[in-house]
Amino acid sequence: MSRILKKLRIESKMANLRVVENAVDDITNKLGIKEDNYGKILVATLEAVNNAIAHGNNGDPEKIVEIEITIEKNQIKVKITDEGEGFNPDSIPDPTMPENIEEISGRGVFLMTKLSDKIKFNKKGNSVTMTFKEVDA
């Protein structure tokens, strides 16, 4: 049974990344998360929210990004949903390939994938759930 730790609804403004950062700080402090796990959770979450604001909602402050952080056993799950059209995560070029090294796009999803233990996009492509395992809580 999972337990909701935090639910946020923010306007699509980059300034609201601070609100998300504060929420992650608060939760990880309360749970006593080790620094390396904290860093992974924070960076992946901020990257996902940044993508939701910039790409999903096209920076439209009228559109909302929802963030839900839950804990189940020794795993933290972070779900980010935007109001955008969605995208196909398989269509993003691998930023580590030589032909893509100069490209800016694709790095965020790559980072999110590397930092989380599991990542899952919904069918529409406007929601991502990242799982962080073996949380020392």
Per-residue pLDDT, 135 = 60
Please, what is the average pLDDT of the chain? 90
Domain ranges of the chain: 3-132
What fold, for 3-132? Heat Shock Protein 90 (3.30.565)
DSSP type of residue 62: T
Tens digits of residue pLDDT in 6-54: 999 999 999 999 999 999 999 999 999 999 899 999 999 999 999 999 9
CA dihedral 124, 135, 107, 89 (to 10 degrees): -20
pLDDT score of 101: 66
What's the pTM? 0.91
> Which stretch, 87-91, 95-99, 124-128, has highest mean pLDDT?
124-128
Pick the closest to residue 49 from 127, 133, 137 (CA basis).
127
CA distance from start to end of the chain: 16
